[in-house]
Amino acid sequence: QVQLVESGGGSVQSGGSLRLSCAASGSAFSFISMGWHRQVPGKQREWVASITSGGRFTYADSVKGRFTISRDNDKNTGYLQMNSLKPEDTAVYYCNVWGRQGLLAKVDAYWGQGTQVTVAS
C-alpha cells in the first residue's frame, strides 16, 4: 500500500506564500509523475501543476509564474511552492502520484487527503 500525506496548508493574506508538501510512505514504487489539483466546494476539481519522471514541468495558466512544483527523491516528498497568492487560489489542494509497485504491476494513481488553503483579500 502507498500512502500520500499532504501538509503545509493554512491561511494567508493576499500576496503571501505557502509551501505544500506531499510525503509518500508505505510500499515502494517507481515514480512516473506527480500532480497537484485543487477544488472549491460546488466546483469541479482543477489541475494546477505536474512534473514527470522525464523532467517536464507544466502549469495551469492561472498559476504560471507564481507556483513551482518540485520533488525530493531522497525524502520521497513532493512540493508545491505558492507565491503571490490570490483569493482565487482558495481551495482544498490535493497531490496525485502515478507509479508502479513492481515490474508486473499496473500503473496506479495515488491521492492525498487534501489540505486547505485560504487566501484573504
Give the pLDDT band (50/70/90) at residue 80.
Answer: very high
pLDDT over 90 at 9, yes or no: yes
The Cα–Cα gap between 102 and 93 comes to 28
Average pLDDT score over the chain: 96
Residue 113 identity: Q
Q: Which of the pair, 19 or 73, is modelled with greater confidence?
A: 19
Yes or no: say if 69 and 59 are a contact pair by the CB < 8 Å rule.
yes
pLDDT over 90 at 102, yes or no: no
Percent residues over pLDDT 70 in the chain: 100
Model pLDDT for residues 14-62, shown as the tens digit of each residue: 999 999 999 999 999 999 999 999 999 999 999 999 999 988 999 999 9
Percent residues over pLDDT 90 in the chain: 91
Amino acid 60: pLDDT: 98
